[in-house]
Structure 1
Amino acid sequence: MPAVCRICLILALAVPLPATAQLFGGNSTELAAQVQALRQKVDALDVRLLKLEGLIQQNQELLGLLKEVETLKADVAKMRGQGEMQAHQIDTLGKRQNDLYVDLDQRLGELAKAAKPAPAPAPPPVAAAPQAPAADVPAPSGPPPTPAAQQLDPLVESRTYEAALNHFREANYAGAIAGFKGFLKAYPDSALAPNAQYWIGYSYYALKDYKTALAHQQKLVAAYPGSAKVPDALLNIATNQIALDNLDAAKKTLEDLVSKHPGTNAATLASRRLAALK
């Protein structure tokens, strides 16, 4: 009897298995395969979603970078406009400064011309003394005086200087250089010689020949250390040194200008440039 009951129990447990397999559409092996395939698809979708999220994040960073680039472009354009305005203002100030220098030089020329004493009148003719016989008159010794040894006409001197200055005023810098060099050759001891030397250097600076301009202004400082043009020459020396990217030398020149020539307009400008270079 116990053996029959055991067989009936086994048959009762075996009956639901086919119904369960039919309920899930097949055997358990096929179901497991489908579940595995679904898991693989879900994993693949997860990978794709992660990639998409990464791309979206990268695109957002790129968009942020593009916005920053556009902002920088706008800032650069604004700064460029400000730079052009400042360059125009500097050119305008430079022209005004040149006009002031020209006016000052003209006044100095007039003062120098007015300070020249008028030539002494020729002495009245004296009755000739009786001449000795020709045989007893000694022959003059030495050559006759040359025109250079004679007194130079101050009016011609002033006109020569003003002609060279007019070339500079008209922005004919090559003509100004030639004119002032000719003036220095003809009138090396003139009161206007330091001014002529200064305008030679400044004309080379206007032509952007900074090395030659620097050499001529240094020549002025060495040859005419007591001239009123020395502070302006030192300022132009520093300007040329800056143009030649020699900032250390420019700072030294500006410091010397401020310390040795305080109270001058050139020293005031030098102080401003030193503050800008720091």
Structure 2
Amino acid sequence: MINHKLAISLMLVFGAAANAAPAPVTDVNDSSLERRLETIERVLESRTDMQHRLQQQLDEMQSDVQEMRGTLELHNHQLEKVLERQRELYLEIDRRIESVSSPTTTTPTAVAGNANSAQQPATGAIVATQTADLSESDAYDKAVNLILRDKQYDLAIPQFQSFLKTYPNSSYAPNAHYWLGQLLFNKQEWVSAGEQFETLVKRYPDSSKRADALFKLGVVEQRRDNLAKAKQLFQQVMTEYPDSSSSRLADARLKAMN
């Protein structure tokens, strides 16, 4: 009886153990998984290569843009230096003309002019004839050289007048009007000087000398005691040419007048 019970117990134990054993694991298809991984790796490698190529192209384009920008900045800097040098040259010439037109320096010239007064009409006629015989650029250069090289300021006046009469539509006409106005200004011929500056201001709005002529026109009106007109012209210089040297000079004049 005891053996029979023991046998039943053993059968129950072994049956429970059999039921508790894990289910058999099914093997995964290793070759299929490897193919899927290889496909993913190829896609990733292709995308990485494409990204590298795009980045390289972007780097090359950025380098080209930087090079072009540097070249443009260099050209702009060189142009600004040329324009600044031109402005300095004009101011230096103005200072020299004004210095030689002072009473202490013009007395010998006046004496020499009186000694040769009989020759002046003939000289003016010769200047007009010579200008007509010269080319446009040569006639202008000759008039300018009378100021810069020869210091013959009185002779330069009829030379510029003849040039403007012979070549009224010349590209040098704006500068010729300015030089002529400056020469007359230094002789204190305010009305004639103002006419030259006003001609430049009205006829040649794109001239590089317009700001200077506008300022000088204001000075002319100030010398003629037309203070309201002078202030208006100085303010116009500051409004239309705020970054110019003429604007700074006009501002100083306005402050001194107030």
TM-score (norm 1): 0.44
TM-score (norm 2): 0.47
Q: Which has the higher helix share?
A: 2
Question: Rg: which structure is higher?
Answer: 1
